[in-house]
Every structure is written in C-alpha cells, then in structure tokens.
C-alpha cells in the first residue's frame, strides 16, 4: 500500500543517514583525520592501521523505498584515503518510492572508493548517484559492484528498478559520465546479449590517474578469469572497466585481483573478514 494511503499513525518509518569525512596531510606528509560528521543510520569507523581506511556502516541493516543515504568524502592535496563498507548493502522490496544513495567525492590527493557489493532483492528500487570533483593531478579509483538477487538461492529480480549515474569532473570539466537504468523485469533484461548475457553480477570501475592509459594492456591480462566477461578502455587519463559474472562469487574472483592491481596494495581489510 502506498505511504500516502496510510494514516498518520501508521506511516512507515524511513531511514535517513549522512556521513561527511575529510582528511588532510600533515607537515610530514602523513594523512590525518580533518573532519568527521555522521547522522541518522549512517556511521563511519576508522580501524587502527596504516593510513586512513574509513568503513561505512548502515545501522538500519539495509535499504527500501523512501530510504536515503548520503556520503561525502573530501581528500586534500597530498592526502590518501580508502573508503569502503562494512558489508554488502542489501536493498529490499519497496512498497513505495525508491531507495536513494548519493555519494559525493572531492579529491585533491588520492581516494580509493571501494564499497562492497550491493545486493538487490526482487521488487527492490534503487537510485544511486556518484558525483566526483577532482583536481587535475588527483588520483581516483572508484568501483561499484551490484548483484541481482541472492544467486546462491536461485533468486531472480523479476520486477524493480536499478538506476546508477556517475559524473566525474576533473579540473572543473566533465571528464566521464555513465548512466545505467534497468526497470521492470530486470532478470529478462539481464538475459539479453547486449545487456549482461545472462549474468547476474555486474561491476563498474574507473581509474583516473597519470598512468591510467599506460596500464590498460596489463589490466586486460588481470581480467582474464574463467566465467567472467570483462572489458577495459582508456583515454584522456582515464581507465574504465566493466565486468559481468554469473554470480557474486564469480565476480569477486576477478574483482579482488583487479582492485589489488590498481591499488598496488591488498583489498580493504573488511573485504577479507
């Protein structure tokens, strides 16, 4: 039943959360916390260890229609940070509206934006947006993975909405734009050869750096994993990648080595828990 049809006392409670993280480099070039704000169901933890590795937590336990999560990360010149999530984000069936996730990144140093996968249940409706403002000499590694249904249980997403928009600006100019929209019988659309060829786990990755174009051939070798379809293109200092796999586990077999190769370090610690 739509929320508008419910009485005031029975209106469904909606989740709202916002995190703002800022980091900067001190006089010795060590990255330090500069700002941290958190509200609602959104939390961020900074485990002890080398560097700054922020872990986003949704205390609501998942998302559904009408829920809103916002994250803003600011990385100053000379600083380096990694931001990931505690676990896979689950998006449940929506009775009304869409779950909205807005991520805004401002990067003058280096940021690795590496949330764990998002799992869409049948009937889920998700609108996700990534907005990035980069300095011309900044470095960004941004990756998002999405799994349609709990594939180990044979689930299919036969109705729902998935919208994923990326806008990357470098030096004030639009450098990369990407938009994905799947609505209705998503499983049938994923079965089409021009969409996912039957795959139910997909991932997008963008690497923006001075050496991005020089690494495309090596990245293509890393992506040679049985059962996973992948492609990489490079231009104007960007390296864009797309992966499609039959399920989340197959995707991770290609996903983790790719991230480690582009980072030059292991995947975030919470990925290995």
The tens digit of pLDDT for each residue in 192-201 reads 999 999 999 9
- Mean of the pLDDT values across residues 242-266? 94
Confidence of residue 9 (pLDDT cuts 50, 70, 90): very low
- Mean of the pLDDT values across residues 230-244? 97
What is the predicted pLDDT for the residue at 273?
A: 63
What is the predicted pLDDT for the residue at 2?
A: 45
Interval 56-102: pLDDT, tens: 999 998 999 999 999 999 999 999 999 999 999 999 999 889 999 99
Contact call for residues 207 and 140 (beta carbons, < 8 A): yes
What is the predicted pLDDT for the residue at 7?
A: 42
Confidence of residue 51 (pLDDT cuts 50, 70, 90): confident
Q: E strands, the chain, where?
A: 16-25, 31-40, 42-45, 52-58, 68-75, 80-85, 89-91, 99-107, 110-113, 118-120, 125-134, 139-148, 161-170, 173-183, 201-208, 229-235, 238-245
* Cα gap 79→261, rounded to integer Å: 20
What is the predicted pLDDT for the residue at 49?
A: 73
* Cα gap 48→67, rounded to integer Å: 31
**In the chain, pLDDT over 70 holds for what percent of residues?**
95
What is the predicted pLDDT for the residue at 153?
A: 77
Contact call for residues 94 and 125 (beta carbons, < 8 A): yes
Q: Is the pLDDT of residue 12 over 70?
A: no
What is the predicted pLDDT for the residue at 11?
A: 59
What is the predicted pLDDT for the residue at 95?
A: 87
240-272 burial: b if 16+ Cβ within 10 Å, else e: bbbbbbbbbebbbebbeebbeebbeeebbebbe
* Cα gap 100→126, rounded to integer Å: 6
Contact call for residues 248 and 201 (beta carbons, < 8 A): yes
Q: Is the pLDDT of residue 103 over 90?
A: yes
Q: Is the pLDDT of residue 3 over 60?
A: no
Give residue limits of the domains in the chain: 14-267
- Mean pLDDT, the chain, integer: 92
Confidence of residue 134 (pLDDT cuts 50, 70, 90): very high
Diameter of the chain measured on Cα atoms: 60
What is the predicted pLDDT for the residue at 14?
A: 85
Contact call for residues 196 and 244 (beta carbons, < 8 A): yes
What is the predicted pLDDT for the residue at 76?
A: 98
pTM (two decimals): 0.93
Q: Which of 45, 100, 94 is nearest to 70 (CA)?
A: 100
């Amino acid at each position: 039943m739509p929320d508008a049809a419910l009485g005031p006392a029975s209106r469904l409670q909606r989740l709202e959360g916002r995190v703002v993280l800022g980091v900067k480099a001190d006089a010795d070039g060590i990255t330090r916390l500069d700002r941290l704000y958190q509200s609602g169901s959104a939390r961020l933890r900074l485990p002890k260890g080398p560097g700054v590795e922020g872990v986003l937590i949704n205390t609501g336990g998942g998302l559904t229609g009408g829920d809103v999560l916002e994250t803003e990360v600011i990385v100053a010149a000379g600083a380096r940070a990694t931001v990931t999530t505690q676990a896979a984000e689950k998006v449940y069936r929506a009775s009304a509206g869409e779950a909205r996730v807005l991520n805004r990144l401002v990067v003058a140093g280096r940021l690795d934006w590496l949330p764990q996968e998002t799992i869409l249940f049948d009937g889920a409706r998700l609108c996700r947006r990534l907005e990035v403002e980069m300095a011309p000499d900044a470095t960004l590694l941004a990756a998002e993975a999405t799994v349609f249904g709990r594939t180990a249980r044979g689930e299919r997403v036969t109705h729902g909405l998935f919208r994923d928009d990326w806008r990357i600006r470098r030096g004030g100019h639009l450098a990369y734009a990407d938009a994905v929209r799947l609505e209705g019988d998503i499983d049938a659309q994923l079965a089409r050869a021009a969409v996912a060829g039957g795959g139910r786990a997909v991932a997008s990755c963008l690497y923006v750096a001075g050496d991005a174009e020089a690494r495309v051939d090596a990245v293509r070798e890393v992506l040679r994993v049985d059962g996973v379809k992948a492609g990489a293109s490079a231009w104007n200092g960007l390296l864009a990648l797309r992966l499609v796999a039959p399920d989340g586990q197959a995707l991770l077999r290609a996903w983790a080595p790719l991230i480690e190769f582009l980072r030059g370090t292991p995947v975030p610690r919470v990925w290995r828990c």
